[in-house]
Amino acid sequence: MRRILLAFGQDLLALFRVSKQPHILIIEDEAAIRTGLTDALVYHGYRVDGVADGNQGLGKALTGKFDLILLDLMLPGASGFEICDAIRKVDREQPIIMLTAKTSDEDIITGLSLGADDYVGKPFSVAELVLRIKAVLRRARTIGAAQTIELGNDVTIDTQNLRGTRGLEELVFTRREMDILEYLHVHTERPISRDELLNKVWGYDRNAAIETRTVDIHVAKLRRKIEADAKTPRYLITVRGAGYRLMTES
């Protein structure tokens, strides 16, 4: 009896372990990249679903059961942009990393504007991608304690619901954008460098020397939301040579 219980317990444990494995969806039509990535991620202990077709990928992505989505842009069927946009319409928490051609700035900006958390340029190193995946998956859900952030007398932000208003305009944020705002809001006394944001908000290792424009593009997105004029920000300002700083009074 005891032995049976023990065996049963171990099965349960194994079952538990499997279900605790982060589940990653790869939407990528290039078979070599898709299978290479799948093998590497399975090796690192992740559960992986790989899909080559955009429409099929979109359907899977919208099930909401994945811890992370790796998203190629040029796909048969729905494009990566369309998939990203469709996910964000229903889910602003879902972590998404885009796989982009390294040279295409426009793609990077478009993808991040549609709400991707970050991008990795092709050809990418699997080791670097795994580092980012780990960071995304261990990211703390809440950074600041504040429920409401007030900026001047026109902007009010509800950090829990990822919503806000600027004057009469409704604002909607992604989880990542809110994490940036919350972190800056906790540290209004000083400018925050890009590296610090990558470390604290994206969870990237300080020594990883990750080259990315994701911070700047996210800040630009935030400005388009919270500033009356994104080109002359009053709240989310740049401190030359130091980083970004949130001013709660304009």
Provide the binding-site residues for Ca ion, judged by CB under 5 A: 29, 72, 74
- Integer CA distances (angstroms), 173 to 78, 161, 185, in order: 24, 9, 15
Residue with Cβ nearer Ca ion (126 or 146): 126
Q: Closest Cα partner for 36 from 82, 90, 83, 72?
A: 72
Residue with Cβ nearer Ca ion (72 or 182): 72
Residue with Cβ nearer Ca ion (74 or 228): 74
Q: Which residue is nearest to Ca ion, using beta carbons?
A: 74
Question: Which element (helix H / strand E) includes 148?
Answer: strand 148-151
Residue with Cβ nearer Ca ion (80 or 233): 80
Shortest Cβ 124–Ca ion spacing (Å): 14
Shortest Cβ 104–Ca ion spacing (Å): 12
- Token reading at 125: 């190193």
Query: Whole-angstrom Cα distance, residue 139 to residue 180?
Result: 12
Shortest Cβ 72–Ca ion spacing (Å): 4
Shortest Cβ 119–Ca ion spacing (Å): 14
Q: Are 178 and 160 in contact (CB under 8 A)?
A: no
Residue with Cβ nearer Ca ion (56 or 238): 56
Q: Name, in order, each residue with C-beta under 8 angstroms of 187's C-beta and a sequence gap of 6 or more.
A: 246
Shortest Cβ 74–Ca ion spacing (Å): 4
Q: What angle do CA 24, 28, 31 make, to 5 degrees?
A: 110
